[in-house]
Chain A
Protein backbone atom coordinates (compact mmCIF):
# COMPACT_ATOMS: atom_id res chain seq x y z
CA UNK A 1 0.00 0.00 0.00
CA UNK A 2 1.50 3.35 -0.94
CA UNK A 3 2.16 5.83 1.85
CA UNK A 4 -0.53 8.40 2.30
CA UNK A 5 0.25 12.07 2.30
CA UNK A 6 -0.42 13.61 5.70
CA UNK A 7 -3.61 15.58 5.87
CA UNK A 8 -2.83 19.26 6.01
CA UNK A 9 -5.61 21.18 7.75
CA UNK A 10 -4.21 24.52 6.70
CA UNK A 11 -4.79 23.84 3.03
CA UNK A 12 -7.55 25.59 1.18
CA UNK A 13 -10.35 23.53 -0.32
CA UNK A 14 -10.22 22.84 -4.05
CA UNK A 15 -10.58 25.88 -6.20
CA UNK A 16 -13.94 24.92 -7.62
CA UNK A 17 -15.39 24.99 -4.11
CA UNK A 18 -14.19 28.51 -3.51
CA UNK A 19 -16.22 31.53 -4.59
CA UNK A 20 -15.07 33.27 -7.74
CA UNK A 21 -13.63 36.21 -5.87
CA UNK A 22 -11.48 34.05 -3.69
CA UNK A 23 -10.23 32.06 -6.66
CA UNK A 24 -8.22 34.98 -7.89
CA UNK A 25 -6.21 34.91 -4.68
CA UNK A 26 -4.92 31.46 -5.47
CA UNK A 27 -1.48 31.25 -7.04
CA UNK A 28 -1.87 30.99 -10.75
CA UNK A 29 -0.92 27.49 -11.89
CA UNK A 30 -1.04 26.97 -15.57
CA UNK A 31 -1.87 23.56 -16.94
CA UNK A 32 0.84 23.86 -19.56
CA UNK A 33 3.01 21.43 -17.64
CA UNK A 34 1.17 18.36 -18.80
CA UNK A 35 0.36 19.71 -22.19
CA UNK A 36 3.54 18.67 -23.96
CA UNK A 37 1.98 18.43 -27.38
CA UNK A 38 1.70 21.73 -29.15
CA UNK A 39 -1.87 22.89 -29.07
CA UNK A 40 -3.51 24.46 -32.01
CA UNK A 41 -6.22 27.00 -32.14
CA UNK A 42 -8.29 24.61 -34.16
CA UNK A 43 -10.99 23.07 -32.05
CA UNK A 44 -11.06 19.39 -32.87
CA UNK A 45 -11.44 16.13 -31.05
CA UNK A 46 -8.26 15.55 -29.10
CA UNK A 47 -7.01 12.55 -27.27
CA UNK A 48 -7.13 12.76 -23.53
CA UNK A 49 -4.18 10.38 -23.26
CA UNK A 50 -0.88 11.91 -22.50
CA UNK A 51 1.91 11.09 -24.94
CA UNK A 52 3.62 7.90 -23.88
CA UNK A 53 7.24 8.08 -22.85
CA UNK A 54 9.68 6.91 -25.46
CA UNK A 55 11.06 3.43 -25.18
CA UNK A 56 14.47 4.79 -26.07
CA UNK A 57 16.76 6.89 -23.95
CA UNK A 58 17.03 9.47 -26.67
CA UNK A 59 16.27 12.96 -25.46
CA UNK A 60 16.56 15.68 -28.04
CA UNK A 61 17.46 18.39 -25.58
CA UNK A 62 19.30 16.29 -23.05
CA UNK A 63 23.01 15.84 -22.70
CA UNK A 64 24.55 13.36 -25.15
CA UNK A 65 25.26 9.83 -24.02
CA UNK A 66 28.72 9.06 -22.78
CA UNK A 67 29.77 7.36 -25.95
CA UNK A 68 33.44 8.13 -25.92
CA UNK A 69 36.13 5.52 -25.52
CA UNK A 70 37.14 7.04 -22.21
CA UNK A 71 33.59 6.76 -20.94
CA UNK A 72 33.39 3.15 -22.08
CA UNK A 73 36.58 2.34 -20.19
CA UNK A 74 35.27 4.14 -17.13
CA UNK A 75 32.06 2.12 -17.23
CA UNK A 76 34.01 -1.11 -17.32
CA UNK A 77 36.59 -0.03 -14.78
CA UNK A 78 34.90 -1.73 -11.84
CA UNK A 79 34.77 -5.06 -13.64
CA UNK A 80 38.22 -5.02 -15.22
CA UNK A 81 40.94 -6.75 -13.24
CA UNK A 82 43.91 -4.80 -12.05
CA UNK A 83 46.44 -7.27 -13.37
CA UNK A 84 46.78 -9.88 -16.03
CA UNK A 85 45.70 -13.48 -15.82
CA UNK A 86 47.53 -16.56 -17.03
CA UNK A 87 47.00 -19.22 -19.64
CA UNK A 88 46.94 -22.63 -17.98
CA UNK A 89 46.48 -26.21 -19.01
CA UNK A 90 43.90 -28.33 -17.25
CA UNK A 91 45.64 -31.47 -16.11
CA UNK A 92 43.01 -33.32 -14.10
CA UNK A 93 41.17 -33.51 -10.83
CA UNK A 94 41.95 -34.77 -7.37
CA UNK A 95 40.91 -33.92 -3.83
CA UNK A 96 42.40 -32.13 -0.89
CA UNK A 97 41.57 -32.80 2.74
CA UNK A 98 41.70 -30.17 5.42
CA UNK A 99 43.66 -31.82 8.26
CA UNK A 100 41.85 -29.77 10.92
CA UNK A 101 38.24 -30.02 9.88
CA UNK A 102 38.56 -33.15 7.79
CA UNK A 103 36.64 -31.48 5.01
CA UNK A 104 37.30 -32.89 1.59
CA UNK A 105 37.30 -30.49 -1.30
CA UNK A 106 37.52 -31.65 -4.89
CA UNK A 107 39.96 -29.63 -6.89
CA UNK A 108 41.37 -29.21 -10.35
CA UNK A 109 45.06 -29.12 -11.12
CA UNK A 110 46.08 -26.46 -13.61
CA UNK A 111 49.57 -26.19 -14.98
CA UNK A 112 51.24 -23.03 -16.16
CA UNK A 113 53.57 -23.72 -19.05
CA UNK A 114 56.09 -21.04 -20.07
CA UNK A 115 53.78 -18.07 -19.80
CA UNK A 116 55.48 -15.02 -21.22
CA UNK A 117 54.33 -11.51 -21.92
CA UNK A 118 54.26 -10.94 -25.65
CA UNK A 119 52.85 -7.44 -25.96
CA UNK A 120 51.10 -4.65 -24.19
CA UNK A 121 47.95 -3.03 -25.45
CA UNK A 122 47.75 0.58 -24.37
CA UNK A 123 45.07 3.14 -24.32
CA UNK A 124 46.98 5.41 -26.67
CA UNK A 125 47.71 2.75 -29.22
CA UNK A 126 44.79 0.38 -28.99
CA UNK A 127 42.09 2.11 -27.00
CA UNK A 128 42.35 -0.14 -23.98
CA UNK A 129 44.89 -1.62 -21.63
CA UNK A 130 45.68 -5.29 -21.95
CA UNK A 131 48.50 -7.76 -21.58
CA UNK A 132 49.04 -10.26 -24.33
CA UNK A 133 50.28 -13.55 -22.92
CA UNK A 134 51.73 -16.52 -24.70
CA UNK A 135 51.91 -20.05 -23.35
CA UNK A 136 53.38 -23.36 -24.34
CA UNK A 137 55.74 -23.82 -27.21
CA UNK A 138 55.53 -24.42 -30.89
CA UNK A 139 58.05 -25.40 -33.49
CA UNK A 140 59.19 -22.40 -35.43
CA UNK A 141 58.62 -24.13 -38.76
CA UNK A 142 54.94 -24.42 -37.93
CA UNK A 143 54.57 -20.72 -37.15
CA UNK A 144 53.69 -18.19 -39.78
CA UNK A 145 56.12 -15.47 -40.66
CA UNK A 146 54.08 -12.62 -39.19
CA UNK A 147 53.75 -14.44 -35.91
CA UNK A 148 57.44 -15.28 -35.87
CA UNK A 149 58.14 -11.59 -36.16
CA UNK A 150 55.66 -10.86 -33.42
CA UNK A 151 57.38 -13.28 -31.07
CA UNK A 152 60.80 -12.02 -32.06
CA UNK A 153 59.74 -8.48 -31.22
CA UNK A 154 58.95 -9.64 -27.73
CA UNK A 155 62.17 -11.69 -27.64
CA UNK A 156 60.34 -14.88 -26.75
CA UNK A 157 60.24 -18.28 -28.37
CA UNK A 158 57.23 -19.07 -30.56
CA UNK A 159 54.18 -19.82 -28.45
CA UNK A 160 51.41 -22.28 -28.97
CA UNK A 161 48.72 -20.24 -27.25
CA UNK A 162 48.32 -16.51 -27.33
CA UNK A 163 45.70 -14.73 -25.30
CA UNK A 164 44.91 -11.26 -24.15
CA UNK A 165 43.93 -10.14 -20.68
CA UNK A 166 42.39 -6.74 -20.26
CA UNK A 167 43.60 -4.75 -17.31
CA UNK A 168 42.16 -1.69 -15.73
CA UNK A 169 44.95 0.76 -16.18
CA UNK A 170 48.57 1.32 -16.84
CA UNK A 171 49.57 -0.15 -13.50
CA UNK A 172 48.47 -3.52 -14.87
CA UNK A 173 51.25 -3.33 -17.43
CA UNK A 174 53.88 -3.77 -14.73
CA UNK A 175 54.83 -7.09 -16.29
CA UNK A 176 57.34 -6.18 -18.96
CA UNK A 177 57.26 -7.55 -22.46
CA UNK A 178 59.34 -10.70 -22.65
CA UNK A 179 59.17 -11.50 -18.97
CA UNK A 180 57.91 -14.89 -17.91
CA UNK A 181 55.28 -15.35 -15.22
CA UNK A 182 54.91 -18.51 -13.17
CA UNK A 183 52.24 -20.07 -11.04
CA UNK A 184 53.06 -17.89 -8.05
CA UNK A 185 51.33 -15.04 -9.82
CA UNK A 186 48.31 -16.37 -7.96
CA UNK A 187 48.50 -16.47 -4.20
CA UNK A 188 47.14 -19.31 -2.15
CA UNK A 189 43.69 -18.49 -0.83
CA UNK A 190 42.92 -16.02 -3.60
CA UNK A 191 39.83 -16.26 -5.77
CA UNK A 192 39.96 -16.72 -9.51
CA UNK A 193 37.61 -17.00 -12.44
CA UNK A 194 38.44 -19.62 -15.02
CA UNK A 195 37.32 -19.77 -18.62
CA UNK A 196 37.48 -22.73 -20.90
CA UNK A 197 35.71 -24.37 -23.78
CA UNK A 198 33.30 -27.01 -22.57
CA UNK A 199 33.23 -30.51 -23.92
CA UNK A 200 31.34 -30.79 -27.18
CA UNK A 201 28.33 -33.05 -26.86
CA UNK A 202 27.22 -32.88 -30.48
CA UNK A 203 23.58 -32.64 -31.43
CA UNK A 204 21.56 -33.31 -28.32
CA UNK A 205 17.87 -33.40 -27.54
CA UNK A 206 15.97 -31.02 -25.35
CA UNK A 207 16.06 -33.33 -22.34
CA UNK A 208 19.84 -33.37 -22.13
CA UNK A 209 20.51 -29.93 -23.53
CA UNK A 210 17.98 -27.93 -21.52
CA UNK A 211 16.69 -30.39 -18.94
CA UNK A 212 13.24 -30.78 -20.44
CA UNK A 213 11.02 -33.27 -18.72
CA UNK A 214 10.37 -35.55 -21.63
CA UNK A 215 7.08 -37.34 -22.05
CA UNK A 216 5.43 -40.26 -20.34
CA UNK A 217 6.59 -43.79 -20.88
CA UNK A 218 3.10 -45.25 -20.96
CA UNK A 219 -0.57 -44.22 -20.67
CA UNK A 220 -1.05 -44.59 -24.37
CA UNK A 221 2.07 -42.64 -25.28
CA UNK A 222 3.15 -43.65 -28.72
CA UNK A 223 6.55 -43.25 -30.30
CA UNK A 224 7.32 -40.05 -28.41
CA UNK A 225 9.11 -40.33 -25.08
CA UNK A 226 12.02 -37.91 -25.18
CA UNK A 227 10.64 -35.23 -27.45
CA UNK A 228 10.44 -31.60 -26.40
CA UNK A 229 6.64 -31.33 -26.58
CA UNK A 230 4.99 -28.16 -27.71
CA UNK A 231 7.01 -25.32 -29.20
CA UNK A 232 4.49 -22.65 -28.34
CA UNK A 233 0.88 -21.56 -28.49
CA UNK A 234 -1.03 -21.24 -31.71
CA UNK A 235 -3.13 -18.17 -32.32
CA UNK A 236 -2.35 -16.57 -29.00
CA UNK A 237 1.31 -16.08 -29.79
CA UNK A 238 0.91 -15.44 -33.46
CA UNK A 239 0.99 -19.03 -34.70
CA UNK A 240 4.71 -19.05 -34.80
CA UNK A 241 7.68 -20.24 -32.81
CA UNK A 242 9.04 -17.39 -30.77
CA UNK A 243 12.69 -16.55 -31.27
CA UNK A 244 14.97 -18.06 -28.67
CA UNK A 245 12.77 -21.13 -28.14
CA UNK A 246 14.91 -23.78 -26.54
CA UNK A 247 15.11 -26.82 -28.74
CA UNK A 248 17.42 -29.66 -29.59
CA UNK A 249 20.72 -28.66 -31.11
CA UNK A 250 24.48 -28.55 -30.76
CA UNK A 251 25.47 -28.72 -27.12
CA UNK A 252 28.72 -27.81 -25.48
CA UNK A 253 31.89 -26.71 -27.24
CA UNK A 254 31.36 -23.15 -26.12
CA UNK A 255 33.20 -20.93 -23.71
CA UNK A 256 32.15 -21.43 -20.13
CA UNK A 257 33.20 -19.27 -17.22
CA UNK A 258 33.34 -20.66 -13.73
CA UNK A 259 33.47 -17.87 -11.23
CA UNK A 260 35.00 -17.61 -7.81
CA UNK A 261 37.20 -20.67 -7.49
CA UNK A 262 39.55 -20.62 -4.57
CA UNK A 263 43.24 -21.20 -5.13
CA UNK A 264 44.09 -24.10 -2.85
CA UNK A 265 47.73 -24.70 -3.65
CA UNK A 266 50.44 -23.09 -5.72
CA UNK A 267 53.72 -24.66 -6.81
CA UNK A 268 56.10 -22.46 -8.69
CA UNK A 269 58.67 -25.08 -9.64
CA UNK A 270 56.13 -27.41 -11.15
CA UNK A 271 53.89 -24.64 -12.44
CA UNK A 272 50.86 -25.85 -10.52
CA UNK A 273 47.80 -23.90 -9.55
CA UNK A 274 45.27 -26.08 -7.74
CA UNK A 275 41.81 -24.54 -7.66
CA UNK A 276 38.79 -25.71 -5.76
CA UNK A 277 36.02 -27.31 -7.76
CA UNK A 278 35.77 -28.24 -11.37
CA UNK A 279 36.78 -26.45 -14.52
CA UNK A 280 35.08 -26.74 -17.91
CA UNK A 281 36.43 -28.85 -20.70
CA UNK A 282 38.55 -31.94 -21.11
CA UNK A 283 42.04 -32.49 -19.79
CA UNK A 284 45.02 -30.88 -21.50
CA UNK A 285 43.05 -27.98 -22.82
CA UNK A 286 43.70 -24.29 -22.48
CA UNK A 287 42.15 -22.52 -19.51
CA UNK A 288 42.20 -18.81 -18.87
CA UNK A 289 42.73 -18.00 -15.22
CA UNK A 290 42.18 -14.50 -13.95
CA UNK A 291 41.43 -12.73 -10.70
CA UNK A 292 37.80 -13.19 -9.72
CA UNK A 293 35.50 -10.36 -10.63
CA UNK A 294 33.11 -11.16 -7.82
CA UNK A 295 35.63 -10.72 -5.02
CA UNK A 296 37.84 -7.87 -3.89
CA UNK A 297 40.93 -7.63 -6.02
CA UNK A 298 43.70 -9.72 -4.45
CA UNK A 299 46.81 -8.17 -3.04
CA UNK A 300 48.89 -10.30 -5.34
CA UNK A 301 52.02 -9.27 -7.18
CA UNK A 302 51.61 -6.57 -9.79
CA UNK A 303 55.03 -7.04 -11.33
CA UNK A 304 57.29 -9.98 -11.93
CA UNK A 305 59.72 -8.69 -9.34
CA UNK A 306 57.11 -8.94 -6.60
CA UNK A 307 56.40 -12.63 -7.18
CA UNK A 308 57.29 -14.83 -4.23
CA UNK A 309 57.77 -18.40 -5.44
CA UNK A 310 55.47 -20.78 -3.58
CA UNK A 311 55.62 -24.52 -3.08
CA UNK A 312 53.26 -27.20 -1.92
CA UNK A 313 54.05 -28.05 1.69
CA UNK A 314 55.11 -31.69 1.80
CA UNK A 315 56.29 -33.32 4.99
CA UNK A 316 59.55 -35.13 4.86
CA UNK A 317 58.40 -38.59 3.84
CA UNK A 318 61.72 -40.30 4.42
CA UNK A 319 62.01 -38.96 7.95
CA UNK A 320 58.43 -39.92 8.74
CA UNK A 321 58.96 -43.42 7.43
CA UNK A 322 62.13 -43.75 9.48
CA UNK A 323 60.34 -42.72 12.67
CA UNK A 324 57.53 -45.12 11.83
CA UNK A 325 59.91 -48.04 11.49
CA UNK A 326 61.68 -47.16 14.71
CA UNK A 327 58.42 -47.00 16.62
CA UNK A 328 57.31 -50.26 15.05
CA UNK A 329 60.51 -51.97 16.14
CA UNK A 330 60.22 -50.43 19.58
CA UNK A 331 56.72 -51.77 20.06
CA UNK A 332 57.71 -55.15 18.70
Chain B
Protein backbone atom coordinates (compact mmCIF):
# COMPACT_ATOMS: atom_id res chain seq x y z
CA UNK B 1 0.00 0.00 0.00
CA UNK B 2 2.65 2.41 1.06
CA UNK B 3 4.80 1.56 -1.90
CA UNK B 4 2.01 2.17 -4.40
CA UNK B 5 1.22 5.54 -2.89
CA UNK B 6 4.82 6.52 -3.01
CA UNK B 7 5.10 5.47 -6.61
CA UNK B 8 2.06 7.44 -7.71
CA UNK B 9 3.38 10.50 -5.93
CA UNK B 10 6.71 10.30 -7.66
CA UNK B 11 5.12 9.74 -11.00
CA UNK B 12 2.74 12.64 -10.55
CA UNK B 13 5.59 14.94 -9.68
CA UNK B 14 7.45 13.71 -12.68
CA UNK B 15 4.46 14.39 -14.84
CA UNK B 16 4.53 18.05 -13.96
CA UNK B 17 8.22 18.63 -13.87
CA UNK B 18 9.40 16.49 -16.74
CA UNK B 19 6.75 17.84 -18.92
CA UNK B 20 8.73 17.28 -22.06
CA UNK B 21 8.19 13.60 -21.92
CA UNK B 22 4.64 13.62 -20.45
CA UNK B 23 4.29 10.24 -18.79
CA UNK B 24 0.63 9.54 -18.90
CA UNK B 25 0.85 6.05 -17.59
CA UNK B 26 -0.29 7.03 -14.13
CA UNK B 27 -3.20 4.87 -13.14
CA UNK B 28 -5.93 5.38 -10.62
CA UNK B 29 -7.41 8.37 -8.88
CA UNK B 30 -4.35 10.57 -8.83
CA UNK B 31 -4.00 10.46 -12.56
CA UNK B 32 -7.65 11.22 -13.05
CA UNK B 33 -7.40 14.27 -10.83
CA UNK B 34 -4.28 15.32 -12.64
CA UNK B 35 -5.90 14.91 -16.02
CA UNK B 36 -9.03 16.78 -15.08
CA UNK B 37 -7.07 19.60 -13.51
CA UNK B 38 -4.80 19.91 -16.46
CA UNK B 39 -7.77 20.17 -18.76
CA UNK B 40 -9.52 22.69 -16.60
CA UNK B 41 -6.42 24.84 -16.26
CA UNK B 42 -4.36 24.05 -19.30
CA UNK B 43 -2.18 27.12 -18.95
CA UNK B 44 -0.81 25.80 -15.69
CA UNK B 45 0.61 22.90 -17.66
CA UNK B 46 2.03 24.80 -20.58
CA UNK B 47 4.25 22.09 -21.95
CA UNK B 48 2.00 19.17 -21.42
CA UNK B 49 -0.01 19.24 -24.59
CA UNK B 50 1.85 17.66 -27.41
CA UNK B 51 0.50 17.26 -30.86
CA UNK B 52 -0.93 13.90 -29.92
CA UNK B 53 -2.99 15.19 -27.08
CA UNK B 54 -6.67 15.51 -27.67
CA UNK B 55 -8.78 17.91 -25.71
CA UNK B 56 -12.18 16.56 -24.72
CA UNK B 57 -14.74 18.88 -26.33
CA UNK B 58 -16.82 19.12 -23.20
CA UNK B 59 -13.83 20.33 -21.23
CA UNK B 60 -12.77 23.12 -23.51
CA UNK B 61 -14.52 25.84 -21.62
CA UNK B 62 -12.54 28.80 -20.46
CA UNK B 63 -11.13 28.65 -16.97
CA UNK B 64 -13.40 29.94 -14.26
CA UNK B 65 -11.22 32.81 -13.20
CA UNK B 66 -11.18 34.47 -16.57
CA UNK B 67 -14.68 34.08 -17.97
CA UNK B 68 -15.14 37.79 -17.76
CA UNK B 69 -16.35 38.92 -21.12
CA UNK B 70 -15.80 39.03 -24.77
CA UNK B 71 -13.92 42.27 -24.21
CA UNK B 72 -11.24 40.67 -22.10
CA UNK B 73 -10.94 37.57 -24.18
CA UNK B 74 -10.43 39.71 -27.23
CA UNK B 75 -7.50 41.42 -25.62
CA UNK B 76 -5.88 38.63 -23.71
CA UNK B 77 -4.94 35.49 -25.57
CA UNK B 78 -4.84 33.67 -22.27
CA UNK B 79 -8.60 33.76 -22.06
CA UNK B 80 -9.00 31.90 -25.30
CA UNK B 81 -10.02 28.28 -25.20
CA UNK B 82 -7.04 26.00 -24.66
CA UNK B 83 -4.82 25.72 -27.65
CA UNK B 84 -2.62 22.85 -28.64
CA UNK B 85 0.99 23.73 -29.04
CA UNK B 86 3.55 21.65 -30.84
CA UNK B 87 6.57 23.27 -29.34
CA UNK B 88 7.69 25.63 -26.70
CA UNK B 89 8.60 28.09 -29.41
CA UNK B 90 5.09 28.06 -30.74
CA UNK B 91 3.77 28.48 -27.25
CA UNK B 92 5.93 31.53 -26.79
CA UNK B 93 4.73 33.09 -29.98
CA UNK B 94 1.28 33.26 -28.43
CA UNK B 95 2.25 33.93 -24.83
CA UNK B 96 4.66 36.77 -25.17
CA UNK B 97 5.25 37.00 -21.49
CA UNK B 98 8.67 37.54 -20.04
CA UNK B 99 7.65 35.69 -16.96
CA UNK B 100 7.55 32.49 -18.91
CA UNK B 101 11.04 33.11 -20.21
CA UNK B 102 12.25 32.99 -16.67
CA UNK B 103 12.32 29.89 -14.61
CA UNK B 104 9.00 29.10 -13.03
CA UNK B 105 9.52 27.51 -9.68
CA UNK B 106 7.44 24.70 -8.34
CA UNK B 107 6.50 24.65 -4.70
CA UNK B 108 4.28 21.83 -3.54
CA UNK B 109 3.71 21.01 -7.19
CA UNK B 110 2.23 24.45 -7.80
CA UNK B 111 3.76 26.83 -10.23
CA UNK B 112 5.13 29.97 -8.67
CA UNK B 113 5.79 32.77 -11.08
CA UNK B 114 8.86 34.84 -10.41
CA UNK B 115 8.27 38.19 -8.73
CA UNK B 116 8.93 41.38 -10.57
CA UNK B 117 11.47 43.75 -9.04
CA UNK B 118 9.97 45.70 -6.20
CA UNK B 119 9.28 49.37 -6.63
CA UNK B 120 11.29 50.05 -3.48
CA UNK B 121 14.39 49.29 -5.45
CA UNK B 122 13.44 51.74 -8.18
CA UNK B 123 12.36 54.46 -5.81
CA UNK B 124 13.37 53.75 -2.23
CA UNK B 125 12.45 57.18 -0.89
CA UNK B 126 9.45 58.56 -2.74
CA UNK B 127 8.89 61.49 -0.40
CA UNK B 128 12.34 62.90 -0.98
CA UNK B 129 11.88 62.25 -4.69
CA UNK B 130 8.77 64.42 -4.75
CA UNK B 131 10.37 66.98 -2.47
CA UNK B 132 13.51 67.29 -4.54
CA UNK B 133 11.49 67.68 -7.71
CA UNK B 134 9.53 70.46 -6.04
CA UNK B 135 12.71 72.18 -4.88
CA UNK B 136 14.16 71.90 -8.35
CA UNK B 137 11.02 73.49 -9.72
CA UNK B 138 10.83 76.31 -7.19
CA UNK B 139 14.53 77.00 -6.84
CA UNK B 140 16.07 76.22 -10.21
CA UNK B 141 19.35 77.97 -9.44
CA UNK B 142 19.74 76.32 -6.05
CA UNK B 143 20.37 79.69 -4.39
CA UNK B 144 17.84 79.27 -1.62
CA UNK B 145 19.02 75.77 -0.89
CA UNK B 146 22.58 77.00 -0.57
CA UNK B 147 21.57 79.93 1.59
CA UNK B 148 20.19 77.59 4.23
CA UNK B 149 22.40 74.56 3.65
CA UNK B 150 24.39 73.58 6.70
CA UNK B 151 27.24 72.51 4.45
CA UNK B 152 27.63 76.05 3.19
CA UNK B 153 29.98 77.97 5.50
CA UNK B 154 28.35 81.24 4.41
CA UNK B 155 24.84 80.08 5.05
CA UNK B 156 22.32 82.17 6.93
CA UNK B 157 22.18 81.30 10.60
CA UNK B 158 20.00 82.17 13.52
CA UNK B 159 20.89 85.59 14.83
CA UNK B 160 21.43 87.05 11.38
CA UNK B 161 19.25 89.88 10.20
CA UNK B 162 17.41 88.73 7.09
CA UNK B 163 15.35 90.68 4.60
CA UNK B 164 12.54 88.91 2.78
CA UNK B 165 11.20 90.50 -0.37
CA UNK B 166 7.76 89.31 -1.30
CA UNK B 167 5.79 89.14 -4.48
CA UNK B 168 3.07 91.28 -2.97
CA UNK B 169 3.47 93.76 -0.19
CA UNK B 170 6.40 95.34 1.53
CA UNK B 171 9.59 93.52 2.32
CA UNK B 172 10.01 92.40 5.88
CA UNK B 173 13.24 92.37 7.81
CA UNK B 174 14.03 90.94 11.18
CA UNK B 175 16.32 88.83 13.23
CA UNK B 176 16.16 85.20 12.25
CA UNK B 177 15.38 83.36 15.47
CA UNK B 178 14.49 79.96 14.07
CA UNK B 179 15.23 77.94 10.95
CA UNK B 180 12.94 74.98 10.43
CA UNK B 181 14.60 72.67 7.95
CA UNK B 182 12.00 70.35 6.38
CA UNK B 183 12.90 69.98 2.72
CA UNK B 184 10.50 71.97 0.59
CA UNK B 185 8.76 73.15 3.75
CA UNK B 186 11.89 74.81 5.07
CA UNK B 187 10.90 78.00 6.81
CA UNK B 188 12.46 80.85 8.75
CA UNK B 189 11.07 82.82 11.66
CA UNK B 190 11.95 86.52 11.56
CA UNK B 191 11.43 88.81 14.50
CA UNK B 192 11.21 92.50 13.78
CA UNK B 193 9.10 95.50 14.60
CA UNK B 194 6.20 97.12 12.83
CA UNK B 195 4.92 100.37 14.31
CA UNK B 196 7.02 99.69 17.39
CA UNK B 197 5.26 96.45 18.03
CA UNK B 198 7.28 93.29 18.05
CA UNK B 199 6.25 91.08 15.11
CA UNK B 200 7.30 87.57 14.22
CA UNK B 201 6.74 86.22 10.75
CA UNK B 202 7.22 82.71 9.37
CA UNK B 203 8.32 82.53 5.75
CA UNK B 204 8.49 79.40 3.67
CA UNK B 205 11.88 79.60 2.03
CA UNK B 206 10.81 77.95 -1.21
CA UNK B 207 7.46 79.68 -1.49
CA UNK B 208 6.88 81.35 -4.86
CA UNK B 209 5.54 84.33 -2.93
CA UNK B 210 9.02 84.97 -1.54
CA UNK B 211 10.99 86.73 -4.23
CA UNK B 212 14.25 87.05 -2.45
CA UNK B 213 15.99 86.53 0.87
CA UNK B 214 19.01 88.65 1.69
CA UNK B 215 21.39 88.60 4.60
CA UNK B 216 21.46 92.16 5.88
CA UNK B 217 23.79 91.65 8.80
CA UNK B 218 25.48 88.61 10.16
CA UNK B 219 25.45 87.83 13.84
CA UNK B 220 28.50 89.11 15.67
CA UNK B 221 28.88 85.85 17.50
CA UNK B 222 27.64 82.42 16.64
CA UNK B 223 24.44 81.76 18.50
CA UNK B 224 24.72 78.95 20.98
CA UNK B 225 21.08 78.02 20.65
CA UNK B 226 19.18 76.60 17.71
CA UNK B 227 16.14 78.74 18.46
CA UNK B 228 16.60 82.19 19.87
CA UNK B 229 13.25 82.35 21.59
CA UNK B 230 14.86 84.23 24.44
CA UNK B 231 14.86 87.23 22.16
CA UNK B 232 11.20 87.59 22.93
CA UNK B 233 12.11 88.67 26.45
CA UNK B 234 12.45 92.38 26.93
CA UNK B 235 15.98 91.97 28.20
CA UNK B 236 17.19 90.33 25.02
CA UNK B 237 14.85 91.85 22.46
CA UNK B 238 16.71 93.22 19.47
CA UNK B 239 13.99 95.77 18.78
CA UNK B 240 13.73 97.46 15.45
CA UNK B 241 16.19 96.54 12.72
CA UNK B 242 15.07 99.34 10.47
CA UNK B 243 18.26 101.37 10.79
CA UNK B 244 20.48 98.42 9.97
CA UNK B 245 18.40 97.63 6.94
CA UNK B 246 18.46 101.23 5.74
CA UNK B 247 22.23 101.37 5.90
CA UNK B 248 22.46 98.09 4.08
CA UNK B 249 20.14 99.18 1.32
CA UNK B 250 22.00 102.45 0.89
CA UNK B 251 25.30 100.66 0.55
CA UNK B 252 23.80 98.23 -1.84
CA UNK B 253 22.32 100.98 -3.95
CA UNK B 254 25.74 102.62 -4.19
CA UNK B 255 27.23 99.42 -5.54
CA UNK B 256 24.04 98.25 -7.11
CA UNK B 257 23.16 97.48 -10.65
CA UNK B 258 20.60 99.07 -12.84
CA UNK B 259 18.38 96.16 -12.13
CA UNK B 260 18.54 96.92 -8.46
CA UNK B 261 17.64 100.58 -8.91
CA UNK B 262 14.62 99.72 -10.93
CA UNK B 263 13.03 97.91 -8.06
CA UNK B 264 12.70 100.48 -5.37
CA UNK B 265 12.02 99.47 -1.82
CA UNK B 266 9.57 102.11 -0.76
CA UNK B 267 8.57 100.35 2.40
CA UNK B 268 11.93 100.70 4.01
CA UNK B 269 12.70 104.07 2.56
CA UNK B 270 15.76 102.95 0.69
CA UNK B 271 16.63 101.94 -2.78
CA UNK B 272 18.05 98.60 -3.54
CA UNK B 273 17.32 95.49 -5.38
CA UNK B 274 17.86 91.96 -6.10
CA UNK B 275 21.14 91.71 -7.85
CA UNK B 276 23.34 93.67 -5.54
CA UNK B 277 25.46 91.05 -3.96
CA UNK B 278 27.39 92.91 -1.37
CA UNK B 279 26.01 90.94 1.48
CA UNK B 280 23.91 88.25 -0.07
CA UNK B 281 26.90 86.05 -0.33
CA UNK B 282 25.22 82.74 0.01
CA UNK B 283 22.69 83.68 -2.57
CA UNK B 284 24.73 84.44 -5.63
CA UNK B 285 28.19 83.13 -5.10
CA UNK B 286 28.64 79.60 -5.98
Minimum CB distance partner of B125 in chain A: A91
Q: Choose from B72, B113, B140, B208 the contact partner of A155 (Cβ within 8 Å).
A: B113
Report the count of interface residues on B (CB-CB < 8 A): 62
Instruction: In the complex, identify which listed stretch (B4-12, B62-70, B265-273) lies at the interface while the others stay far away.
Output: B62-70
Asked if A152 contacts B111 (CB within 8 A), the reply is yes
Instruction: In the complex, identify which listed stretch (B129-137, B156-164, B219-227, B241-249) lies at the interface while the others stay far away.
Output: B129-137
Asked if A324 contacts B141 (CB within 8 A), the reply is yes
Asked if B137 contacts A314 (CB within 8 A), the reply is yes
Task: Check: A258 CB closer than 8 A to any chain B CB.
Answer: no
Asked if A152 contacts B122 (CB within 8 A), the reply is no
Q: Total number of A-B contacts with CB less than 8 angstroms?
A: 187
Asked if A314 contacts B123 (CB within 8 A), the reply is no
A43 to chain B, nearest CB (A): 71
A110 to chain B, nearest CB (A): 8
Asked if A176 contacts B134 (CB within 8 A), the reply is no
Q: Choose from A96, A179, A270 the contact partner of B126 (Cβ within 8 Å).
A: A270
Q: Choose from B69, B116, B143 the contact partner of A324 (Cβ within 8 Å).
A: B143
> Which residues on B sit within 8 Å (CB–CB) of A153?
41, 44, 63, 65
User: Contacts A93-B127, A320-B141 known; A177 to B286 CB distance under 8 Å?
Assistant: no
A214-257 to B contact mask, C-beta < 8 Å, 1/0: 00000000000000000000000000000000000000000000
A328 to B206, CA, bound (A): 20
Asked if B167 contacts A148 (CB within 8 A), the reply is no
A317 to B131, CA, bound (A): 14
Supply 10 A–B pairs (Cβ within 8 Å), ascending by A. A94-B183, A101-B208, A102-B167, A114-B118, A125-B64, A153-B65, A155-B78, A156-B113, A270-B122, A317-B140
Identify the A interface with B (CB < 8 A). Answer: 91-102, 104, 107, 109, 111-114, 119-120, 122, 124-125, 136-137, 140-141, 145, 148-149, 151-158, 170-171, 173-174, 176-180, 265, 267, 269-272, 274, 303, 305, 312-315, 317, 320-321, 323-325, 328, 331
